[in-house]
Amino acid sequence: MKFVFSSFLVLLAALQSATAQGIDCVATCVDDVCTFTAKVNLYAGELGYFTFEECGGIRSPTLGIELGKTYRFVQADRTNYYHPLGFAYFPDGAHADKDELEPSIVPPGSSSTCNTTETCPAPKYFQDGVYLGDWMHQDTSIDSTGDFGLDHYEPKFFHPLGDWLGYGAFEVQLTFDVDDFAQDLFYFCHIHEFMTGRIKLMNEAGEPLVAENIPALEYTYDEVDAFDETCGTFNTSSYRLPDGEFAGQCPERFVCETAESRFLQSDGNTSSPLQAFSTCLDAMNCAMMVGMTTHATSPIGLFIHQMIPHHQNAVNMAKALLKTGGMGACEDLTNEEDPNCIMEYMMYEIINNQNHQIQTMRAVLETLQEPAYADCVVTAGHDHDEEVTGSDDALANETSTNGEGTGSSGAWTLGHSLFTVLVAALWILA
């Protein structure tokens, strides 16, 4: 008991100091080589977030790395597909037009002259145990073109999943050795923005060299509520049928069995995959339908405003099938005989590919100075001659003629009006 209690105190102290220092976890080290095993939790937000085996399930954990030690970031797990790791001095690196770790980039604020010899800290990229570059960091005796392998690593993450899996384990190594650098570093995904996480430099005792978190992360991570958590989806719970906030803009159901008959079909087991997946589908399809009533801003704008909800739905469908569909395990994703493998393979392609296209389309809207959202409100089952984007009065009248829709309550009208006001405000702001 005494032993257990003192262990508990030690654990508590360790946890407290970890919290105070803001470092979520450290790598597993054997001699001088330390390893972080990267994965992506695709369900943790719209795009998913990095996790590391050494850090349990924490999404986008703050990692601690020791000055001068070599860290391996292993990207062998299949969830890393489409997520090549990068390292930068600011959140999201090049996505945010900020400096990444490169041989000739002096860490901001440092007095180092490493840029003159191309010996500044930079990652080295490996595939199947083979270094893909020729730059050797401090070893300047080797004739180098300054290539640290990224240009051979990143493109392979766009290849078909089967090819990517066949290339062998991907891995990035980083040794940070500039000792008068007084900020944090960031890992990020070279393909998707907004998946960054912090790295704090530590001394040998595991204490951070800089206590404060600088530079700041200028966005917040997505939060997933209980409904989306169950489904594996993002941003669908206000569209739950029949009583989600925006359910009134949707048909009564998309999956024709009612929740009750699904329930009967599945032997009264509410957590049966068919029951769970159908409930998720109803909500995400409603989200898509609501998202797909948009203003016509321009041909490209209209395409994008209509296509993003489509893509989001494809991503949500794929995540929900993987999470709630009760599919059998697939050992070898390239097995073209096993329906579980064929579908899991396809789900990874849909999720990663379409999320990437969504980000590309959002960037096009920004370049064209078009609004990110151009939603308008159209109720389900309305008379086709009516103008429905107008006032609350018209909306109130809609409620009574909303035969096919399910919402009939005051909450529906209120939610609906709030939604209209929100959309109008976004429209005016944009």
Ligand X SMILES: *[C@@H]1O[C@H](CO)[C@@H](O)[C@H](O)[C@H]1NC(C)=O
Rounded to a whole number of angstroms, the minimum distance from the CB of residue 45 to ligand X is 9
Whether cis (ω within 30° of 0) applies to the bond prior to 208 is no
Which residues inside 346-375 make contact with ligand X, applying CB under 6 A?
373
Rounded to a whole number of angstroms, the minimum distance from the CB of residue 343 to ligand X is 17
Query: Between 219 and 303, whose beta carbon lies closer to ligand X?
Result: 219
Which residues inside 49-108 make contact with ligand X, applying CB under 6 A?
106
Candidate residues 38, 195, 287, 321; the one interacting with ligand X per rule CB under 6 A = 287
- Which residue in the block uniquely carries the two structure tokens 């704008």? 301
Rounded to a whole number of angstroms, the minimum distance from the CB of residue 276 to ligand X is 8
> 381 near 404, Cβ under 8 Å?
yes
Query: Between 213 and 238, whose beta carbon lies closer to ligand X?
Result: 238
Does 291 bind ligand X (CB under 6 A)? Our answer is yes
Nearest of 280, 243, 237, 238 to residue 405 by alpha carbon: 243
Query: Between 104 and 203, whose beta carbon lies closer to ligand X?
Result: 104
Does 397 bind ligand X (CB under 6 A)? Our answer is yes
Query: Between 70 and 235, whose beta carbon lies closer to ligand X?
Result: 235
Rounded to a whole number of angstroms, the minimum distance from the CB of residue 156 to ligand X is 30
Query: Between 27 and 374, whose beta carbon lies closer to ligand X?
Result: 374
Cα torsion at 34, 22, 186, 202 (round to 10°)? Answer: -50
Rounded to a whole number of angstroms, the minimum distance from the CB of residue 207 to ligand X is 27
Per-residue mark of binding to ligand X, 143-172 (x: CB under 6 A): ------------------------------
Burial class (CB in 10 A: 0-12, 13-18, 19+), 14: exposed
Query: Between 130 and 396, whose beta carbon lies closer to ligand X?
Result: 396
Query: Between 35 and 402, whose beta carbon lies closer to ligand X?
Result: 402
Hey, CA dihedral for 288, 233, 244, 429, is it positive or negative? negative
Query: Between 158 and 427, whose beta carbon lies closer to ligand X?
Result: 427
Rounded CA-CA distance 70/30 in Å is: 11
**Secondary structure in 3-state letters for 119-185:** CCCCCEEEECCEECCCCCCCCCCCCCCCCCCHHHHHHHHHCCHHHHHHCCCEEEEEECCCCCCCCCE
Cα torsion at 224, 226, 232, 233 (round to 10°)? Answer: -60
Stretch that binds ligand X, among 61-69, 155-163, 358-366, 391-399 (CB under 6 A): 391-399
Rounded to a whole number of angstroms, the minimum distance from the CB of residue 331 to ligand X is 21
Candidate residues 41, 127, 265, 272; the one interacting with ligand X per rule CB under 6 A = 272
> 222 near 75, Cβ under 8 Å?
no
- Which residue in the block uniquely carries the two structure tokens 């954990």? 61
Query: Between 109 and 160, whose beta carbon lies closer to ligand X?
Result: 109
The phi, psi pair for 123, rounded to 5°, reads -75, 160
Rounded CA-CA distance 226/320 in Å is: 14
∠ CA 233-234-240, rounded to 5°:
80
Query: Between 218 and 393, whose beta carbon lies closer to ligand X?
Result: 393
Candidate residues 290, 320, 374, 377; the one interacting with ligand X per rule CB under 6 A = 290
Stretch that binds ligand X, among 210-218, 271-279, 335-343, 351-359 (CB under 6 A): 271-279
Rounded to a whole number of angstroms, the minimum distance from the CB of residue 305 to ligand X is 11
Rounded CA-CA distance 343/330 in Å is: 10
Q: How many residues does the chain have?
A: 430
Size of the site for ligand X (CB under 6 A): 16
Candidate residues 140, 203, 258, 269; the one interacting with ligand X per rule CB under 6 A = 269
Does 115 bind ligand X (CB under 6 A)? Our answer is yes
Rounded CA-CA distance 253/247 in Å is: 10
Query: Between 122 and 290, whose beta carbon lies closer to ligand X?
Result: 290
Does 116 bind ligand X (CB under 6 A)? Our answer is yes
Rounded CA-CA distance 371/305 in Å is: 9
Which residues inside 306-345 make contact with ligand X, applying CB under 6 A?
326
**Site residues (CB under 6 A) for ligand X?**
106, 115-116, 235, 269, 271-273, 287, 290-291, 326, 373, 393-394, 397
